A = this chain, B = another copy of it.
Amino acid sequence: MESLLRFIHALTIFSEESWIRLQPALSTQEFKKNEFLLKEGAVCQSLFFIEKGYCRSFHEIDGIEKNTAFYLENDIATNIRSFGSGEKSAASIIACEPLTAIVFDKVLLFEAARQTPEIEALGRNCIRLFAAKQDEFATLFNIYSAKDRLAYIEEKHPQLLQRVSQTQLASFLGVARETLSRIRKRRVP
């Protein structure tokens, strides 16, 4: 819980009273490895603040899982399209390790936000932060090659490489596992 409070204070102004009023919308949930936080076809009703462990978001295309994001400690995980619109999610989110998350319930969060402007601002800032991250990675795919994408991840998100397998990373970078292996080999002269 302290990690969430630190996260919130880094993001926006938040009083003790707002914190108390936020509590009804929060619950702590544990997930085993390979347990789903969100399943494809379900409507995303939650924001997951990752306290311990990590998870990944993926789309299943022709029986193959294509990773679209990793969420590590102190990240917010969700499917923004489904959460925002109430449509079914096209992606799944699954725990890659035993995972502890603080879950924001959408309905209760919106209720609390109506009463408390600081909670309203928190919600808005969470979406903004999520959108900015999404923009970062969307741009990455738009303008860089797989080789350059790897270099970018190595520079800006080295924690990812410490925890994610080559297979999972290759799927995220949008190349075959073998190709990632060769990209690595090619550059280390």
Chain A positions near chain B (C-beta within 8 angstroms): 59, 61, 66-68, 79-81, 84-85, 90-91, 120, 123-124, 127-132, 134-139, 141-144, 172, 174
Contacts and interface: CB of A to CB of B under 8 A. Distances in A.
Contacts of A85: 128, 132
A106 to B, nearest CB: 12
Given A81-B136, A136-B81, A131 B141 contact: no
A126 to B, nearest CB: 10
Contacts of A134: 131, 134-135, 138
A141 B80 contact: no
Query: What's the number of copies of this chain in the assembled complex?
Result: 2
Contact of A143 (B61, B127, B135, B136): B61
B68 A132 contact: no
B68 A128 contact: no
Contacts of A138: 68, 134, 137-138, 141
B131 A90 contact: no
Contact of A124 (B127, B129, B130, B143): B127
Nearest to A129: B84
